[in-house]
Structure 1
Amino acid sequence: MVRLTAAQPRLSSAKPRLAAPLQSDADRSRSRDRSQGWRAWYKTARWQKLRLKVLKRDGYVCQQTAVLLVGAYPADDSAVVDHKVPHRGDPKLFWDIDNLQSVSKAYHDSTKQSLERRGLA
């Protein structure tokens, strides 16, 4: 007498090949922090003091659009202290108060990032 058993599938379940695994914003941020050590500078008391000094110097006004920076993050009119010349890990450029300006989150996240991607800032 022949016994029949359930046949095993011949194909394993395929993993999606087009979509990258979803990564949370926190995971992405931690990954960038590890690969770019200078990102930790933004978490220092020294940066917070310098940031506040720049915001006060600029009167909490966006230096590119003249928008009053009164919003709380993540509002478009929340304050971002931006490097005029991208520092790319250069501590001299990073900590230079003359290389810093107050801008709105809306300007920083759209216009400024676009300029940087095109190599114009």
Structure 2
Amino acid sequence: MSSNTAPWRRWYKTERWQRLRERILVRDLYTCQKTGVLLIGKHPAPNSPVIHHAKEHRGNEVLFWDEANLMAVSKQWHDSDAQKAEQASLDQRGVWY
């Protein structure tokens, strides 16, 4: 199964995710938890908000939906620092559900 068809990808399209995403943005005061940047941009602006999983969920439904595992970050941080860390850990990633 390719990552583009992984069942967990659909979770991002749900109303449940949209509500959770909004709760995290409000909780984190629309501020990047890694850089302090205000998340006021519209996608794909560097300061647009992204909800980041602190611990990779790897398709694990409990980790995916866990509010304690989520944080608001800027698209710029997510697309650079977070992606670099994920790429560096490819050999340690394990199974994606």
TM-score range, shorter chain: 0.7 to 0.9
Deviations, residues 22-65 of structure 1 (Å, cap 9, x unaligned): xxxxxxxxx7432x111000000000000000000000000000
2:36 corresponds to: 66
Aligned: 1:75 with 2:50: no
| 1:69-108 alignment, distance < 5 Å | 69-108=39-78
Greater RCO (Cα-Cα under 8 Å, separation 6 or more): 2
Runs of 4+ in 1 over 3 A off after TM superposition: none
| Contact persistence 1:33–1:40 (CA under 8 A) | no
Please give the TM-score of this superposition, normalised by the length of structure 1.
Answer: 0.71
Q: Which has the larger radius of gyration?
A: 1
Read off the aligned partner of 1:59 and give its amino acid letter: L
| Aligned counterparts of 2:4 and 2:78: Cα–Cα separation in 1 | 20
Read off the aligned partner of 2:38 and give its amino acid letter: L
Aligned: 1:40 with 2:18: no
1:4 corresponds to: none
1:20 corresponds to: none
Please give the TM-score of this superposition, normalised by the length of structure 2.
Answer: 0.88
| Aligned counterparts of 1:38 and 1:103: Cα–Cα separation in 2 | 21
Secondary structure of 1:61's counterpart equals coil
| Contiguous gaps of at least 5 residues in structure 1 | 1-30
| Contiguous gaps of at least 5 residues in structure 2 | 93-97
Read off the aligned partner of 1:66 and give its amino acid letter: G
Q: CA RMSD in A?
A: 1.4
